[in-house]
Amino acid sequence: MEDQNCPASVMTRKRKSQEEDNSISSTFYMDELNEDLLERVLSRLPTSAFFRLTSVCKRWKSVASSPSFKLACSQIPSRAPWFFMVDPLLNRSIVFDSTERSWKKLDHPPLLQKNSNCNSMPVSASGGLICFRNSYGNFIVCNPVTGSCNEHPPLDPSLQNLTFHAIVMHSCPKFEQSSYKLVVVFGEFPKLSFRVYNSDTGSWEEETALCKKFDDDSAESESSEDNAAVYFLSKAGNVVATNMQRSPSKQYSSVITTSKDGEEIVHFLSSSGSVVACNLATKCFSEYPRLLPVFFEYSIDLVECGGRMLVVLLSEFFESASLRVWCYDEDVRSWHQIAAMPPAMSHEWYGKNVDINCVGAGDQILICLSSAEISSCVLCDLAANEWVELPKCFMDGEAIKFMSAFSFEPRIEASV
């Protein structure tokens, strides 16, 4: 038997004691941080942690409401997106957190709970803000995380009766406050115009007319058919019109991108399903070639991903459904496919008259598929070519059927 008091045993105990002392001396305490450093540390937590800061201690509660903490949050270049979900009951705020892969119910903004703003429809989003439109046609910009809202000055009454084709937001964070623009495109083809609301001035700019840009003779002849509805018999024996009747939540399906030359371009879907591009710098608009013939049955939507305008298309071929993502190449003036849902997933939607409403965020696309028979949300990662069906969202024991979604960065510092 070994002697427990041998030198080797004594050395071992001394070494362990020294290691324990070093461990104690290097223990890190958050209370030892000064205010500035604490704010920087907390600003890097996921936004979902913001709701819990106030219940940790008095100091953290004070930090959560301080202007300098919001300034620290604004220094974070980007945050993983949340998706603001739209369901038939518009007077509630439900989001999908892409980081935690979970559903959250937020407090619905007080301004949107007023009688005059009840059932306001979300129409666009950018940065940390979402734009709603009430029943009077007025726009309300809101930070869904903090609940702060601002109602814009109304547009001219003469414009309210015109057809709106696109409503897009473009935001530029500026530390403590957010600067953004709201662009609306309206009119009847080919007489289109646009107006811009600038948050820096708090007013609408003057109306600007858009002229039609013809690249060749074929484009002119094709565009002449845009306003005329064509009726045909579907495979199921139903009479179908080529004039698209989109879900009310995505009737202004549109995105804004910036060209290589730094020009802002608004893309939207015409009533017949063709993609229209409006260059706000040159004040011209043009139409892209169709992806499918006008008589084909399909559902289509636009998204913006990584600064690119993409088209998501659900169509039926050879007794099966196909959902694919397309990108338009300006150099060769043609479409090319960049992603496709696995056939085993897309076949489920064959023959069910499915409508798709999509939204992009970075390399991700959230697709809301809905019909009278079935409803589902699928998240596509373009970089990894992964397609994942999201878990059902239950409220009061009932699964919610979402019609569409809007992506935004959850930022407590985004002001309206």
Domain spans in the chain, listed from the N-terminal domain onward: 36-72, 77-213+230-408
Q: Does the structure show a pLDDT above 80 at 51?
A: no
3 state DSSP class of 117: helix
85-105 mean pLDDT: 91
When comparing pLDDT for 338 and 40, which is higher? 338
Indicate if the pLDDT at residue 108 is higher than 60.
yes
User: What digits encode the pLDDT tens for the residues 358-374?
Assistant: 999 999 999 999 888 88
pLDDT above 80 (res 177): no
Segment 123-148 mean pLDDT: 93
CA–CA gap between residue 393 and residue 402 (Å, rounded): 9
Handedness of CA 403, 409, 411, 413 (dihedral sign): negative
Contact 155, 195 (CB under 8 A): yes
Question: Which residues lie closer than 8 Å to 394 by C-beta, 6 or more apart?
Answer: 400
- Give the C-alpha separation, 73 to 56, whole Å: 19
Q: Where residue 2 falls among pLDDT bands split at 50, 70, 90?
A: very low
The whole-number pLDDT of residue 215 equals 63
Average pLDDT value for residue range 263-275? 90
Single pTM value for the model: 0.83
Mean pLDDT comparison of 111-120, 169-178, 247-256, highest-scoring range: 111-120
Residue 340 pLDDT greater than 70, yes or no: yes
Region label for 362, one of left (φ > 0), alpha (ψ between -120 and 50) or beta (otherwise): left
Q: Output the pLDDT for position 234.
A: 45
Q: Decide if pLDDT at 239 tops 70.
A: no
CB atoms within 10 A of CB 288: 18
Topology given in CATH for the domain delimited by 77-213+230-408: Neuraminidase (2.120.10)
Give percent above pLDDT 90 in the chain. 48
Give me 190's structure tokens: 């080919």
The label of the residue with tokens 């979300």 reads 122
| pLDDT of res. 129 | 95
Backbone angles phi, psi at 19, to 5 degrees: -65, -40
Confidence of residue 10 (pLDDT cuts 50, 70, 90): very low
Q: Which tens digits make up the pLDDT trace of 277-310?
A: 999 999 999 999 988 876 676 789 999 999 999 9
Task: Provide the angle, in degrees to the nearest 10, between the axes of the packed helices 67-74 and 35-43.
Answer: 50
Q: How far is CA 11 from CA 1, 6, 21, 395, in A?
A: 19, 9, 15, 62
Residues 6+ apart with CB under 8 A from 188: 162, 163, 227
Across the chain, what does the average pLDDT equal? 83
Task: Kindly indicate the confidence band of residue 7, based on its pLDDT and cuts at 50, 70 and 90.
Answer: very low
Pairwise CA distance, residues 309 & 266, whole Å: 9
Say yes or no to pLDDT of 154 above 50.
yes
